[in-house]
Every structure is written in C-alpha cells, then in structure tokens.
Amino acid sequence: MKQAGETSGPRIATGSNRKDRSALASLARNARRGLAIATILPLISGALLVAQAYLLASVLHRAVVGGESIAALGSPIFSIAVLIALRLGLGALGEQAGIVAAERIKFDLRSRLAAKLSAGSLEWSASRSSGALSAAVVDQVEALDGFFARFLPASIQAAVLPLAFAAAVLPVDWVVGLLFLLTAPLIPLFMALVGWGAEAATKAQANALVRLSGHFADRLRGMTTLKLFGRAEFETRDVERASEDLRRRTLRVLRIAFLSSAVLEFFAALGVAGVALYVGLTYLGLVDLRGSALTLQAGLFCLLMAPEVYQPLRLLAAHYHDRASARAAIAEIEARFAGLPEATTGPERPAHLPAASGGLPLTVEHLTIRVPDSERILLDDVSLEIGAGRHLALFGESGIGKSSLLETLARLRPGAGIRIAGLDLAAIDEASLRAGVAFISQRSRLFHGSIADNIRLGRPSASAAEIAQAAERACVLDFALKLPEGLESPIGEGGVGLSGGEGHRVALARLFLRDPGLILLDEPTAHLDAATQARVLEALVDFAAGRTMIIATHSPAVAARLDEAWRLAGGKLLPMPHPHAARQQKQPRWTA
C-alpha cells in the first residue's frame, strides 16, 4: 500500500492554459443550445434593464419636478412592473438552461470516462489507483458544473453588458459614460492577476483531493491486513493528516476567492461613488462639465445605471473560482485518463461469437507480448492455430509469461492478430466474448457472501441443484459439507475463511455452470493434493469434451490428460514429447 504522501498515477500537469481552454471548449460543444440560451437571455434582460431604469427615472422626474399624480403615472408604472416580471422570468429561464446544459455535459463526459474504464486493458487499470479514478469521474467532473452553469454565462455578460450600459448612458451624460468605460475594464484586469494565484491553489487542492481519495480507497481495501498487523491506528492518523492537508489547501483557495471578490467590490464602490459625487456636485453647481443643465431624470438614470454597470462584473467575481476549479479538474482528468476520451460517433457493429454448441477454433498471427511499461519481451512473434475441441497444456517457469498469454487471449491485455472462430478478438462484442470464452486465473475474485452465492456468479439464474452439482464436480463439497451451513456458509471479502486451494475450487465451480466454447485455465489444480487434483482434472476433461481448452500448468499429470504439451521459454513456444502425440485429430501449430 502507498504511504500518505504518495500519489497514485500521474500528478496534475502544469501545462498551458490554452490546452485546458481547448478541452473545456470541446465539452461545451455538447450542449451549445443550452449554453446559448443561458447566455442570450441575460443579455436580453440587460436590454430590458436599461428601459426599466429610464422609465423609473422618468416617473420620478415627472412626480417630483412635474408634480403629476399617481393616476397619471399609472401606465409607465405598470410598464415598469411588466419589465421587472419579464426580467425575473428571463433570469430564471437562463439559470435553468445553464443547469441543464451543465448536467448534459457532465453526463456525456462521465459516460465517456466510464466507457474508457470498461474498455481499458488489464495493465492500464492496474497501473492506476481505483480511488483516484473514481475521484476523477465523480468529484472532478462535478467541479465542471459551476464553470458551464454559472461562470460561462457570467463571463459573456461581463464582456458585453458593462460596455452596452456605458454606451446607453453616453447620450445622457458623456462624463458618466466615459467614467464607466474607464473603470469597468480595470476590474477584470485585477481579477486576472488574482486569478493566477487562484488557479495554482485550486490545482494544488485538486491534487490533494485525489491523493486523499486514492489513499482512503487503498487503506479501505487493505483494512483486514492492517488490522492483522496492528496498523489500523497508525493509518487512521495518516488519513487524518491527509484530510488536514486537504482542509488547509481548500481554505487557501477560499481566501484567494474572497480576495478576488474584495478587489471587485473595491473598484465597483469607487465607480458608483464617483458617479454619485459627480451628479451631486453638478446639482450644487460646483462642477460644470456639461453644455446644458443636468435634469433630475438624467441624474437619476445615471445613478440607477451605476451599480448595474458593475453588477455583471460582481457576478463574474462570484463565480471566478469556478473557472480555476474547472481547469484544475480538466487537468486532473486528462492526467488520470491520459487525455479526454473522444466522443463515440457510431461505432461499428460488434461481432458475435457463434452459439457455443462445441469448441471455438483459435488463431493467432505474429503475437508479441511485452511487460507493461518495459521493453522486456515475454512472447516474441508467435503464431498458433488450435482447432475446435483441442486441449493444450502450456508449461513454463513462473514469471515466464503463461498468465500474460492467457490474459491476452481473453482480451484482458492488448494483443493484435488474435482471431476466435474467424472473428477479430478486438471486434467481438463484450457480452458475447465473456459468454463464449471462460478464463479462470490463479487469483479469482471471491466476494463477501455464501459459498453458493460465489458459485452462482458463473450463471446467476442457476438453481440450487445445479450449484450443488457444480460444487461437487469442483470438489467444493469436500470441505463445504463439513461447515455448519454447507454451501450457504458465509465467506469474507477476498475469500477470507477459505484456504487458497478451497477458494480456487469455488472459482472453478463457476465454470461448470457455464457453456463456453473456449476455456482458458491458469494453474487450475494448484494447491491441491494428488487425489483431489485427479478428481478435479477428471471433471475438467469431461466437461471440456468437444470444447477448446488451454491450461497453463506446472503439473506433468495435468499435461498427460491433454492432447498437446508446449513449453514457453525465451519468448518462444517449443513442443514437448507427449503420450497423445499420435492422435489422428488435427494438431495445433505453433511457430515463432
């Protein structure tokens, strides 16, 4: 298990922001209509705001200066109420459209990430922390919500509305309009300076979150081992230290986010105060920069528009940290998944293996298998052909590559040139492949539940009688019947409560509930005494009659029961003397 300070997989890359922006833009294309609605409706609301402010200033001017009654002002007051209602409706619709668009983008990205996880090879999954991958799929994808639902519409509003409001004020008073044009751009400039620090802090916080997720998942998986070795309290303190580190980094991000808001509020307050000071001094006659007198309507319009000019920038500041969070999340997802998975565009129709009424022929052309992340070759340019219904024993020293070969044939490792029943292995439908090819490794997975529940994984619809028959053929009943509850006796996660040989027999029993055309077994009789090995082997050979079977083994007794025996050595497959070599059936051909 990894220590607290270690990371699982690659760290967040400190690449250019241009790459992050490109990734976010590509995701935005999946919900362009919703994002367009979320952006356009607030702009329309901003145009209505100008009309609302102008009508309100006009009503107050007519009431104060003209002395008009409320009855005479009823029509413009009603228009103001209608404009307020329209703006509220447009705001609610725009916010809802942004939420829907963000949910669609997150769903699409999670679907692509889940598809990549399902299609990933064995070594790809093994080289990455499951906790870090799950954190990327759940937490980091969720961090994109604020960017698409709030920041993106707010950034468009901040770019358009202040300038539009300033242009609307210019014909009324050029001094106020010029003040808006000069002060509004300063706020995004200072926010960008603060944002650099926010983005760096957010990336560090995202790294800490992923480390904690992977760390916690790793310790949870090894809880039994930690308890047995008395390390539970130490690891608990370790998790607490990692949690405290995440808390400090999160608070650092919040401090910077509050700082960006403070910067905006400072300049916005200066701008509003400057407009109020100018209007007041003009009314007092202490400032005269206009060619004509400043009317009450004009002054009120300028004062009403002053806070609205800075409101889009306030909104941008409130959601500015969402941008940094999204960039950090995209960088983390790309680091964990080696880039964003491409959206599927109508994949080719997968091939299906024929119904397993007999054995499936296997053909491999120029297969080369390397050690993951290494140049060491396990199998070097090997070709083979095994006819349907043939049984093959595969010998070799431990670590020579027997398991890797079987995993490649089962499509758990990448490999080119493999064909089953004439179909390219890579093109076979996943469900069809798993139904037609049975692979049992040396470390088959057992789950918390009864022995019968674990056997039933071979075929969930199997009856109790069928499970009992499979258990008998795999010699599971030899030890299960000695337990108080028989096949219903519970076992722990990972087979806790059973020996290695007993657990392997439980996994082997699943095979007898299936109907595969190709059987791949890795040391099926390991950890068994001679008598039990003979009985299990007898059941296997009887079950595999008419089916194609390859067994990796160290046991000459196992090889003696099969049609052919080959040795893996030096990356080559070499024939071995075998008592069944004289059989008249078609022999498998191996060439290197």
Q: What is the pLDDT of residue 1?
A: 39
Give 209: exposed, middle or buried? Use CB within 10 Å, 0-12, 13-18, 19+.
Answer: buried
Distances in Å between the Cα of 334 and the Cα atoms of 198, 214, 249, 542 are 20, 17, 22, 50
What pLDDT digit, counting tens, does each position of 62-94 carry? 898 888 888 888 898 999 999 999 999 999 999
Domain for residue 205, yes or no?
no
Q: What is the pLDDT of residue 123?
A: 62
Distances in Å between the Cα of 331 and the Cα atoms of 21, 96, 158, 506 are 10, 27, 26, 43
Q: What is the pLDDT of residue 202?
A: 66
Give 3: exposed, middle or buried? Use CB within 10 Å, 0-12, 13-18, 19+.
Answer: exposed
Q: What is the pLDDT of residue 7?
A: 38
> Do 33 and 168 have their domain in common?
yes
> Do 263 and 298 have their domain in common?
yes
Integer Cα distance of 78 and 62 in angstroms: 15
Total domain count, the chain: 2
Domain for residue 221, yes or no?
no
| Final residue in a domain of this structure, among 304, 337, 370 | 337
Tokens for 327, please give them: 């960039």
Domain for residue 53, yes or no?
yes
Q: What is the pLDDT of residue 13?
A: 40
> Do 128 and 178 have their domain in common?
yes
List the domain range (segments joined by +) for residue 412.
362-591
Helix 296-318 and helix 232-283, axial crossing angle in degrees, nearest 10? 170
Give 272: exposed, middle or buried? Use CB within 10 Å, 0-12, 13-18, 19+.
Answer: middle
> Do 330 and 387 have their domain in common?
no
What's the CATH number where 74 sits?
1.20.1560.10
Per the DSSP assignment, residues forming a β-bridge with 575 are: 566
> Do 380 and 502 have their domain in common?
yes
> Do 378 and 485 have their domain in common?
yes
Give backbone dihedrals phi and psi of 365, rounded to 5 degrees, phi first. Answer: -125, 120
Domain for residue 492, yes or no?
yes
Domain for residue 422, yes or no?
yes
- The residues of the chain scoring below 70 in pLDDT are 1-20, 119-127, 186-211, 214-215, 256-257, 260-261, 291, 343-349, 356-357, 372-375, 578-592
> Do 380 and 331 have their domain in common?
no
Domain for residue 84, yes or no?
yes
> Do 34 and 84 have their domain in common?
yes
Domain for residue 150, yes or no?
yes
Distances in Å between the Cα of 338 and the Cα atoms of 243, 330, 367, 415 are 27, 11, 26, 20
Q: What is the pLDDT of residue 346?
A: 46
What pLDDT digit, counting tens, does each position of 521-539 carry? 988 887 788 888 888 888 9
| Final residue in a domain of this structure, among 290, 321, 337 | 337
Helix 174-183 and helix 152-169, axial crossing angle in degrees, nearest 10? 150
> Do 580 and 432 have their domain in common?
yes
Tokens for 468, please give them: 């009992």
Domain for residue 14, yes or no?
no
Q: What is the pLDDT of residue 100?
A: 92
Q: For residue 366, how many C-alpha atoms fall within 13 Å in the half-sphere facing its CB?
A: 2
Distances in Å between the Cα of 227 and the Cα atoms of 44, 164, 236 are 63, 66, 11
| Final residue in a domain of this structure, among 273, 302, 337 | 337
What's the CATH number where 481 sits?
3.40.50.300
Angular region, 251: left φ>0, alpha ψ -120 to 50, beta rest: alpha
> Do 366 and 421 have their domain in common?
yes
> Do 302 and 374 have their domain in common?
no
Q: Which amino acid is at 11?
A: R
> Do 323 and 386 have their domain in common?
no
**Long-range pairs of 532-541 with CB within 8 A, sequence gap ≥ 24:** 532/475, 532/478, 532/501, 533/557, 533/558, 535/475, 536/474, 536/475, 536/505, 536/508, 537/561, 539/473, 539/474, 539/475, 539/512, 540/508, 540/511, 541/391
